[in-house]
Structure 1
């Protein structure tokens, strides 16, 4: 069976992939449609690797067969067979498309299942996606959605077909308060998902892709430096939303959401989590806030927790958000936006921007 060389079709079709690398390798980076069904688990791979360094390839292969045999081998082959039965169009890969892929493919064939392997394995797929991503960044056919904190930029991004939601891919909202309760992906996983999404958009349309204006980090995930440079000079669509609406959105999406996620464990647990979440975020930006402003915000938090526990009220949290926006986030946004305001193509609220983008796509 010929190995897969057409990586573009592979990702455009979301072909299911069996990643036969060890779990520790998979955790460092994989692909959106991949599933880890290892030939060897971590300690087995480590033992074989040590044997290879000390005694050579032949001895390492022999050790691998000794470690994965009998019921253990049958169990792993069955995992591949079950996956192939559920996904007949599946392909498989290891790190370089070498020995592990060939062994897995042969064992599958012995079990009556023929699956193609990817030429070059994970390394070749990763290189392809990085090249694709850097090429699109070089071409630079993008627009940037700008707007003050709490404007609801993500809502716009998710309502547009020709857009990529980097914060959604990063499982983070991109600020000190951006933790969503979900684990963030590995850096490589983030970059791979970004490249695949852009590959699909490019195959569907030649129009510009809309991105949210991002900083260097989205939580612990880093945005590529080339994107930051590109976005500084890219055409801007500016989202404008009244302060009161922004306060309500932040309070709802950040604080009330965090509270509700933990309320199933009891009110005290939810209150404790909300306290830890907000206090921790404020502490991370304490130096930039300054001592007086930080103390005032902590007072709002303490009062808000009491009010929430006693009366179920969120007024003090809204006061906290208003201080953060008026005294910290908005001045910072205005300063940063001033340097690129001349690139603004259109300015409006959610509905106006969506209507304008729809007209531009015609």
Structure 2
């Protein structure tokens, strides 16, 4: 209910900056009641002395900044109102984390904030969210507190990422244009989830080059859960709204996102099932390895992927090689060399040396030829390392890498069936 209600509203995380930066509800803005250092002081006093002693110290910190916190929220509401009709309030996704510095605000206009709807949370829905909710309600805002706090949201994330969504996997060797094909499917009205976009990583050794920092594992899980829930909700007529994506998450943040993404996508599909007895609409994702950069697809979600049908784009090696050269050939050479060195142990000393030497000499195609053979071998290993592959795998012969492969896919598999 909290997630459904906060669509297009201001969501405030009152935890400390360090807690927020590690992982949070996607789209939330940080208005910390305590700094990291203050939180440590209050926590120590709570453990070593008493609850009452900790509250008194907390009040010492809270009192002088109450006006500044109200003004920070006023400013955010004003920004959100100005953006009405565009994309709503700018969240942390794509522009870095947003944390209030609580500097005094000056304005010649009277803020129009009475009765503005706010949603806020702390770690467990306790004293921190209670104190800030009291202040903002007193000023005139309409505040809803997340019962159980961020901890309750995390429990929901874990449950959501374990849901047995109906998945269909777009498979194929490196360079097959799988991500572009997903986008084409989305344009055709299919439900997709781009795991690499959630993880802020393209999956290979070069996957982080040109990308923002990855999220934490927890933030990835948050986004996955919210995305899946949102896609699922579309078919029930109640999406949670647009959830953006921050720099690549930590492992935990990746899991958070994954759970929310998958639950949303699944909701889109289930209405048809409930109304006319049809199977839920499938959610299309890319056949990834479990690890994407430094985040991992949550184990229950991964196991569901391994049980799902795979539609393998069988594209000639040379076609894929040219596609890879076009995609990665202009990347920073030093970062590419560093990426090759990271996989050197598995690639082998001779192939590592040759791949790097070709790069240094400007022979991009020959360097990538070595790497593509390596990744083909790795993908084959992962593809065949699953039970009942023969009943799951559909091979689709494609002459080249192009968006037209979506039509070939639809010929062997009606997309929404």
- Find the partner of 1:215 among 289, 305, 312: 289
Distance apart, 1:354 and its partner CA = 4.8
- Find the partner of 1:344 among 385, 393, 400: 393
- Residue 200 of structure 2 corresponds to residue 164 of structure 1: no
- Residue 342 of structure 2 corresponds to residue 284 of structure 1: yes
- Residue 10 of structure 2 corresponds to residue 9 of structure 1: no
Q: Map 1:87-166; keep pairs closer than 5 Å.
A: 88-134=116-162, 136=163, 139-161=164-186, 162-166=191-195
- Residue 18 of structure 2 corresponds to residue 18 of structure 1: no
1:169-205 per-position Cα deviation (integer Å, ceiling 9, x unaligned): 0100111111133110111111111111111222222
Cα separation, partners in 2 of 1:219 and 1:63, compared to 1, 3 Å: same
Distance in 2, matches of 1:103 and 1:8, equals: 21
Q: Which residue of 2 aligns with 1:268?
A: none
- Residue 78 of structure 2 corresponds to residue 79 of structure 1: no
Distance apart, 1:360 and its partner CA = 2.8
> What's the secondary structure of 1:158's corresponding residue?
helix
- Residue 24 of structure 2 corresponds to residue 30 of structure 1: yes
Distance apart, 1:140 and its partner CA = 4.2
- Is the CA contact 2:14–2:32 (under 8 Å) kept in the aligned structure 1? yes
- Is the CA contact 1:157–1:163 (under 8 Å) kept in the aligned structure 2? yes
- Is the CA contact 1:142–1:209 (under 8 Å) kept in the aligned structure 2? yes
- Find the partner of 1:188 among 218, 238, 248: 218
Q: Which residue of 1 aligns with 2:62?
A: 68
Distance in 1, matches of 2:224 and 2:9, equals: 17
Distance in 2, matches of 1:178 and 1:155, equals: 15
Distance in 1, matches of 2:202 and 2:393, equals: 23
Distance in 1, matches of 2:407 and 2:62, equals: 56
Distance in 2, matches of 1:58 and 1:80, equals: 28
Distance in 2, matches of 1:16 and 1:321, equals: 46
| Structure with the larger helix share | 1
Distance apart, 1:8 and its partner CA = 5.2
> What's the secondary structure of 1:214's corresponding residue?
coil
Q: Which residue of 2 aligns with 1:329?
A: 375
- Residue 300 of structure 2 corresponds to residue 226 of structure 1: yes
Q: Which residue of 2 aligns with 1:297?
A: 355
- Is the CA contact 1:81–1:108 (under 8 Å) kept in the aligned structure 2? no
Q: Which residue of 1 aligns with 2:98?
A: none
> What's the secondary structure of 1:90's corresponding residue?
strand
Distance apart, 1:63 and its partner CA = 0.6
Count of matched residue positions in the alignment of Structure 1 and Structure 2: 324
> What's the secondary structure of 1:155's corresponding residue?
helix
Distance in 2, matches of 1:226 and 1:58, equals: 43
Distance in 2, matches of 1:112 and 1:293, equals: 67
Distance in 2, matches of 1:355 and 1:192, equals: 34
Cα separation, partners in 2 of 1:40 and 1:354, compared to 1, 3 Å: farther
Distance in 2, matches of 1:114 and 1:231, equals: 42
Cα separation, partners in 2 of 1:10 and 1:114, compared to 1, 3 Å: closer
Distance apart, 1:286 and its partner CA = 1.0
Task: Decide which moves more: 85-94 or 25-34.
Answer: 85-94
Distance apart, 1:355 and its partner CA = 6.1
1:216-252 per-position Cα deviation (integer Å, ceiling 9, x unaligned): 2100111112233332231111123333332232223
Q: Which residue of 2 aligns with 1:198?
A: 228
TM-score by length of 1: 0.83
TM-score by length of 2: 0.72
> What's the secondary structure of 1:279's corresponding residue?
helix
Distance apart, 1:127 and its partner CA = 1.0
- Is the CA contact 1:156–1:354 (under 8 Å) kept in the aligned structure 2? no
- Is the CA contact 1:97–1:121 (under 8 Å) kept in the aligned structure 2? yes
Task: Provide the aligned C-alpha RMSD in A.
Answer: 2.2
- Is the CA contact 1:178–1:254 (under 8 Å) kept in the aligned structure 2? no
Cα separation, partners in 2 of 1:335 and 1:120, compared to 1, 3 Å: closer
Where structure 1 has 5 or more consecutive residues not aligned to the other structure, the ranges are 1-5, 259-273, 305-315
Distance in 2, matches of 1:9 and 1:342, equals: 38
